[in-house]
């Protein structure tokens, strides 16, 4: 999952000219769901955002969380956060979860956030929404769930011609070195015996 978290003085969302969600001080969360996401990631992300220290204390330092300041959250579904713009001019959204799984995890995330005593407002899933955000600071952070980062595809290079992930490549190199040593040792023993 990917969340763009904005500290706000106020935020609201309208659908067909009607306000469907509105908060005062707190965070606006644009939430994208990846095709490999699970409910565990929704729980992890909710806990992370509820405790993220992006609010100022009396000394002006960002030491307080959403829970500490009694702030609210306005959560907006945003599949375009997984738009891949690397090739061509039109983003590809193949990494984003389909509507069914995405909606279930979107709702799961909001329920998990509520479980941390955060008041939650929301947009309407798959609706054409107009979002008003009065960013405070401005403070904006992007939070990715760890599992999505781990699923990025390894790249084949001259140093890593098999395209293995870093840990796998290191293990492969160690095993290859051990095989070389074993072969050299056998050759030496063969010469002595011959």
Catalytic residue status for 79: yes
What pLDDT, on the 0 to 100 scale, is given for residue 161? 56
Q: Does residue 159 surpass a pLDDT of 60?
A: no
| pLDDT tens digit sequence for 49-105 | 999 999 999 999 999 999 999 999 999 999 999 999 988 899 999 999 999 999 999
Domain shared by 76 and 126, yes or no = yes
Domain shared by 101 and 179, yes or no = no
Q: What total number of domains does the chain contain?
A: 2
Residue 53 sits in a domain of what CATH number?
A: 3.50.80.10
Host domain of residue 192: 153-194
What pLDDT, on the 0 to 100 scale, is given for residue 185? 80
Catalytic-labelled residue, pool 6, 14, 41, 78:
78
List Cβ<8 Å contacts ≥24 apart for 105-108. Answer: 105/1, 105/33, 105/37, 105/38, 105/39, 105/41, 105/42, 106/31, 106/33, 106/75, 106/77, 108/39, 108/42, 108/43
What pLDDT, on the 0 to 100 scale, is given for residue 151? 47
Domain shared by 136 and 192, yes or no = no
Q: Where does the pLDDT of residue 164 fall: very low under 50, low under 70, confident under 90, or very high at 90 and above?
A: low
Catalytic residue status for 80: yes
Instruction: Read off the tokens for 113.
Output: 């956030």
| Radius of gyration of the chain, Cα coordinates, nearest whole angstrom | 24
Domain shared by 128 and 163, yes or no = no
What pLDDT, on the 0 to 100 scale, is given for residue 150? 47
What is the length of the chain?
A: 194
Catalytic residue status for 172: no
C-alpha closest to that of 73 among 131, 126, 160, 10:
10
Domain shared by 146 and 175, yes or no = no
What pLDDT, on the 0 to 100 scale, is given for residue 171? 72
Mean model confidence pLDDT for the chain: 88
Average pLDDT over every residue of 39-46 = 94
Average pLDDT over every residue of 173-189 = 80
Domain shared by 121 and 40, yes or no = yes
Catalytic-labelled residue, pool 55, 79, 109, 145:
79
Domain shared by 138 and 185, yes or no = no
């Amino acid at each position: 999952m990917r969340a763009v978290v904005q500290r706000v003085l106020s935020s609201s969302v309208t659908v067909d000219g009607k306000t469907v969600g509105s908060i005062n001080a707190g965070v606006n969360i644009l939430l994208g769901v990846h095709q490999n996401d699970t409910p565990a990631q929704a729980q992890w992300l909710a806990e992370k955002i509820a405790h993220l220290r992006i609010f100022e204390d009396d000394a002006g330092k960002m030491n307080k969380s959403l829970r500490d300041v009694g702030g609210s959250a306005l959560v907006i579904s945003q599949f375009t956060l997984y738009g891949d713009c690397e090739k061509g001019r039109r983003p590809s959204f193949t990494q984003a979860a389909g509507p069914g799984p995405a909606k279930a995890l979107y709702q799961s995330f909001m329920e998990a956030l509520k479980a941390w005593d955060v008041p939650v407002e929301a947009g309407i899933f798959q609706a054409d929404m107009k979002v008003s955000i009065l960013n405070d600071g401005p403070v904006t952070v992007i939070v990715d769930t760890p599992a999505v980062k781990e699923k990025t595809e390894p790249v084949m290079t001259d140093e890593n011609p098999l395209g293995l992930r870093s840990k796998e490549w290191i293990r492969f190199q160690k095993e290859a070195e051990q095989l070389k040593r074993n072969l050299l040792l056998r050759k030496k023993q063969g010469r002595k015996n011959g």
